[in-house]
Amino acid sequence: MSLKCPYGPVTRAPWGLLPQFHRDPLGLLEDVGNRYPGFASLPFGPWTLYLATEDTAVEDVLRPHKDHFRKGPGMEAQNPLIGRGLLLSEGDLWREQRKAIAPVFQPDPMKAYRIAIAERIGAAVSRFFTPGQLDAGEFGRYLALIVTMDVFFGVASVAESVGRVDKATAQVMEHFHRRARSAYRPPYHWPKVFNRAFHQASGVLTDFIEPLFDEPSTPLLKVLANSPVERRAEEALTFLIAGHETTGNALAWTLRLLAEYPDIADRVGDEALHQGDPFQSGAYTQAVCLEALRLFPPVWLISRTAIQEVEVQGYALPAGSDFLVSPWVTHRRPGYYSEPTTFRPERWIRSREVVRSRTDYRFLAFGGGPRRCPGEEFALTEMMLAISFICREWNLRPLTTSFPSPHPGMTLAPHDDLGLVVTRR
């Protein structure tokens, strides 16, 4: 017989835990995950949400997506900018899109991408790295954007276009974040005064992307050119926005961690020198990137809504129930990772090889189940090549003694600048 509702915090406050969630979502979710491990209920005023933190509970929520769940609160399919893109689409449309873009990330195209990524890394390092101070966040966002523009869209990364697209992307992501946290969400088709900044930024991004379909020059553009005209810009902008913010922040956190642990950075640099091939990275470098993604997963919260009655951990929950999965919380469970708050890349290596499973619901940096990120290898390749290139030639030290705290927006960004001091190695 199925149970009715999992245990969770009890509060008489009219809005439940919602104000606390707005003030400190990471702290609240981590506290609930520790006090009610596995699967818990979260009272948010008139709503009850369910938090899955144990791998089996996470799998119950993420794996059976097709007929049981859709993307959850804040992930709106009616979004006119990316609503019909791969991130938000559902059902047959999503399956069609996922199948169509699969060849874009196969081994042969990835070989060509490595060369282009390495060239962009060289250009970005030449621009940003001189002896002195460096903002790792600014560098990470810049590099991720010029790689995305070059590899996926065939656009030369001139300073004017990079700055314009970067600013518009930041505005759009901030709008998504505010909208996801608000109970008041004006429909997008209302007069633009209700969503003025969003529509202005959307116009910049759409004007950037639409002319590229006149002569599609990259594997991704050629695939998306086969989509109906009315939705191909949304599909393309999904890759631009998702590939920019997530990878940029992940790289920034990785560099800040390497500055905090110079012995680990030296080992990455030594491995890069030993490899000799600028288009390859070693096992330890990969382990460093995985460990940084474990500690600071760019996507810190995943949401789902049940479209029919579902059973999670033995609880029968009705259609319309909302579920949360937090990689931040699951990645820090002591039972899964010893010393879970410590940056220790060695935990990923066995017999000099990186050991991990794509079906492991304890590591969720790229999601899990059928909606797992298709660009996982691309993002890891970019991160590994970047830190290999940097640590081979530069020493990194933190600008301040205190480690920056994370800001849980649409992605996990730093609250303040990730300042570094860089010197020649």
In a domain, 285, yes or no: yes
**Is 401's pLDDT higher than 60?**
yes
Give the closest residue to 99 by CA, choosing from 242, 227, 247, 228: 227
Q: Which band of pLDDT confidence, cut at 50, 70 and 90, is reported for residue 277?
A: confident
Distance of CA 229 to the CA centre of its chain: 28
Tell me if 9 is assigned to some domain. no
Is the pLDDT at 55 greater than 90, yes or no? Answer: yes
State which amino acid sits at residue 21. Answer: F
> Which CATH number belongs to the domain containing residue 269 in this structure?
1.10.630.10
Q: For residue 277, how far is the Cα from the chain centroid?
A: 28
Domain residues for the domain of 133 are: 18-357+370-416
Mean pLDDT of 146-171: 87
Whether 227 shows a pLDDT value over 70: the answer reads yes
Task: For residue 231, give every residue at least 6 positions away whose Cβ sits within 8 Å of its Cβ, in sequence order, or none.
Answer: 84, 85
What average pLDDT score do residues 156-164 get? 78
Rounded CA separation 31/329 (Å) = 9
Amino acid identity of residue 109, one-letter, is P
- Establish if 365 belongs to a structural domain: no
What's the structural domain count of the chain?
A: 1
- Residue 185 is predicted with a pLDDT of 77
Query: Structure pTM?
Result: 0.94
**pLDDT band per the 50, 70, 90 thresholds, residue 1:** very low
Helix ranges (H only) for 129-228 are 136-147, 153, 159-181, 196-209, 219-224
* Domain assignment present for 236: yes
279's CB contacts (< 8 A; 6+ apart) are 114, 115, 118, 385
Which three-class secondary structure state does DSSP give residue 102? helix
Higher pLDDT, 72 or 422: 422
Is 303 domain-assigned?
yes
Residue 159 pLDDT class (50, 70, 90 cuts): low
Asked which of 46-55, 75-84, 379-388 is least confident by mean pLDDT, the reply is 75-84
Confirm whether 143 is domain-assigned.
Answer: yes
Using a 10 angstrom Cβ sphere, with 0-12 exposed, 13-18 middle and 19 or more buried, the burial of residue 313 is middle
Per the domain annotation, does 4 fall within a domain?
no
Where is average pLDDT lowest: 55-64, 156-165, 377-386, 398-407?
A: 156-165
pLDDT 10s digits, 15-37? 899 999 999 999 999 999 999 99
**In a domain? residue 5:** no
**In this structure, which amino acid lies at residue 393?**
E
